[in-house]
Amino acid sequence: MAADHAGAASSPGARALTAIGIAIALGFAGALASLVPAVAGGAAPSVAVPWLPALGVALAFRVDGLSLLFALLISGIGALVLLYAHRYLRGHPHAARLQLFLTLFMLSMLGLVLADDAVVLFVFWELTTVTSYLLIGFDSESAKSRRAALQAMLVTGSGGLALLVGLLILGGVTGTLRISEWIAAGSVAGQVAYTAVFALVVLAAFTKSAQFPFHFWLPGAMAAPTPVSAYLHSATMVKAGVYLLMRMHPVLGGTELWFWTLTVAGSATALWASIVALRQTDLKLALAYSTVTALGFLVLFVGAEIGIAITAAVTFLIVHAFYKSALFLVVGIVDHATGTREAQRLGGLARTMPTTAAAAGLAALSMAGFPPLLGFIGKELKYEAALAIVSQPLVLATLLVVANALTFAVAAVVAFRPFWRGEPETPRMPHEAPRRMRAGPLLLAAAGFAFGVYPELVGRYLVEPAVAAIRATPMEVDLKLWHGVNVPLAMSVATALLGLAIYAAHERVRAVLARAVSALPLTGERAFDASLDALRSFAAFQTRILQGGSLRRYLFATWLVLPAAVGSVLVLRGGLAWPASPSPVPVYAWPIVLLVAAGSIAPIVTTSRLASIAALGLVGAGVSLLYLLFGAPDVAMTQLLVETLTVVIVAVVLLRLPRFSGRDHPGSAGRARDAALAIAAGTTVSALLLAVLASPLDPSLSDWFAANALPAGFGRNVVNVVIVDFRALDTLGEITVVTVAACAAYALLKLRPGASSEQEGA
């Protein structure tokens, strides 16, 4: 995409938005960096502004070790990606839009990780879903991009709905929506609602972080431009689910359900994704599946309770953010310079792209876990944690060795083969990328090397505070490059040897894996497509049943909901009640009641539309008389005027409608069915009113309206003041609906058979 516009100049709007985005990112990064010493010392600066005080919701933000780590990665990598994207899409007609979307996404992620209120967290969670949809579908003319964006939004958006319900239930259990208060209160494992909250929160985290069986959406999202992939799907968005699990660890962790769910899901995700990654020939897709592998590792270790497992998760989080974003940016440079990302067409690029090759080499060494890079320390910690987990340590250790060996081979395929083996067979002559594109991968790869040589910096100021925040208790973390000759070191050596063997036989292994995966009867992608097809089929079936073109059927379905939904709830929940001392109906009201009853029965027995509407007008007039008898003359007058106008207008309309045809006439069976539905609906409403009358009356709202009608609404008629002042927007909405309906009815009545063809001929 970028290469098509590489020679054109960037627009002023794109330059301005890039400068604004980078300034925002660097501003956040600088402000957060200034808090590092204080947070490392145990402080947690916070701010809260009332937002919805009646609901206990505040715009509350808090910086502890976990949120600080994520926010620094988001803002720091965000600045580099924005700089890279400016040059990558130089001259693209929509480059400014991409920069705007990237900046909005960055702010959404920062709000998510810094939020200290559950509702605020959910709002920013959904904002990341919306902005990622816009970024993944950036190339709106591509059907592949549109499909990938929709898939990502549906999967992660459904998880977001589950998150909202889970957070609200948790707020009800704890009596607060403040996340820091949840953590201070400790685990809710003893509560009845624990299982429901756990399931909802974990579902949200799994969909966002592409855990099995929701792993399929992330590789599909690689249809987005490379800067989007580098930012969303390696360093930020896909780790939002991991952040949620880490944040909820003190509240939901420590149980067998938590441990086994996260361990099994994380292990399955890591192993499966590492296998599928090796069969990819597109470098970007290979990195995408290896990202899913890394997310599986993170979820696996967050599920454990021991400190070394949490330390391994936090350290690997940093390691992965550095090397994966660097490698994505490198792949974008290769694509930009050569016109292809196919591994089989790339080779020998180090001669013409030495700086890019250096960045790729450093990042790949960290990905493979070679010393002295930070990736080596992260891999050692993973092995140490796997051995320390009491439940099935041998199984976990073996799984990690195999998955890491496959990741080792993927790193070689992505960063060694394109630069150091063979000759290029590319659509364009390879050339080195501009400085602005090289800056990001070089700095990120160098950070992995620097923190590997001086691990105490990242350990003391970033990892240790984050681990303390996750475990809700202080813990000393001592990151070292060398731990002596031990079992984790032996596992690292075995990983390297196995990885080299897999890489040496890469072509044969890839062919075998390709055949094996394609032979599977069901994959996540196919399951998603099948579910969408089933949804469309059900929607079509439902539309045929409920919207077949008959107004009679529409009304029947609408009124059927009332007795079916409300009536069933009244019966099942014990809502049926009779007033303790009902007031007797006055004798003079009985004739009016009989008049209303007669007006209700008449439309059932008559075949005349005009007689039916007149009978219903009689019902309205009778109700107006009842209002008048019981002391509501203003309501009676309103009711009478409405009924009169309704009868007149509908009578005029009926003159323009055709007579009942045989198909439209309900017949005796249809009349019996309609009468049964009418009786059921009336009975339900009557039962509901009796239940309301049987409940004690709370006059506080009525008293408030009566007390404030004159001083606040400047009217003595309380009903009018409520409608016109206190419910002004509601009344305006009702008027708007009636107006729109009247315009639509007028347009339909103006239609004539053959009118459209006459207009077309004219």
What span, in angstroms and rounded, lies between the C-alpha atoms of 122 and 328? 29
Burial class (CB in 10 A: 0-12, 13-18, 19+), 224: buried
Of 316, 317, 310, the residue nearest 473 (C-alpha): 310
Of 362, 352, 364, 354, the residue nearest 424 (C-alpha): 352
pLDDT of residue 343: 81
Find which of 197-201, 282-286, 748-752 is predicted with most confidence, using mean pLDDT.
Answer: 197-201
- Asked if residue 42 lies in contact with residue 443, where contact means CB atoms within 8 angstroms, the answer is no
- Asked if residue 477 lies in contact with residue 463, where contact means CB atoms within 8 angstroms, the answer is yes
pLDDT at 352 over 60: yes
What span, in angstroms and rounded, lies between the C-alpha atoms of 452 and 527? 42
Burial class (CB in 10 A: 0-12, 13-18, 19+), 694: middle
pLDDT at 115 over 90: yes
What span, in angstroms and rounded, lies between the C-alpha atoms of 220 and 311? 31
3-class state of residue 480 by DSSP: coil
Of 121, 124, 104, 122, the residue nearest 162 (C-alpha): 122
φ/ψ (deg, to 5) at 699: -85, 5
pLDDT digits (tens, 9 = 90+) for 664-701: 556 667 778 888 888 899 889 888 888 888 888 788 88
Q: DSSP label at 8? A: S
| Residue entry with tokens 């704890």 | 174
What span, in angstroms and rounded, lies between the C-alpha atoms of 295 and 488? 21
Which of 368-384 are b and which e, b meaning 16 or more Cβ less than 10 Å from the residue's Cβ? bbbbbbbbbbbbbbbbb
pTM score of the predicted model = 0.79
- Asked if residue 13 lies in contact with residue 99, where contact means CB atoms within 8 angstroms, the answer is no
pLDDT at 443 over 60: yes
| Residue entry with tokens 């450093």 | 362
Residue 665 in tokens: 């006439």
Quote the radius of gyration of the chain (alpha carbons, Å): 33
Burial class (CB in 10 A: 0-12, 13-18, 19+), 44: middle
pLDDT of residue 9: 59
3-class state of residue 47 by DSSP: strand
Residue 318 in tokens: 């940093």
Of 155, 112, 113, the residue nearest 136 (C-alpha): 155
Average pLDDT over the chain reads 85
pLDDT band, residue 60 (cuts 50/70/90): very high
pLDDT of residue 759: 43
Which stretches of 28-114 are assigned E, i.e. beta strand?
A: 46-52, 57-62
pLDDT at 548 over 80: no
- Asked if residue 335 lies in contact with residue 226, where contact means CB atoms within 8 angstroms, the answer is yes
pLDDT of residue 757: 43
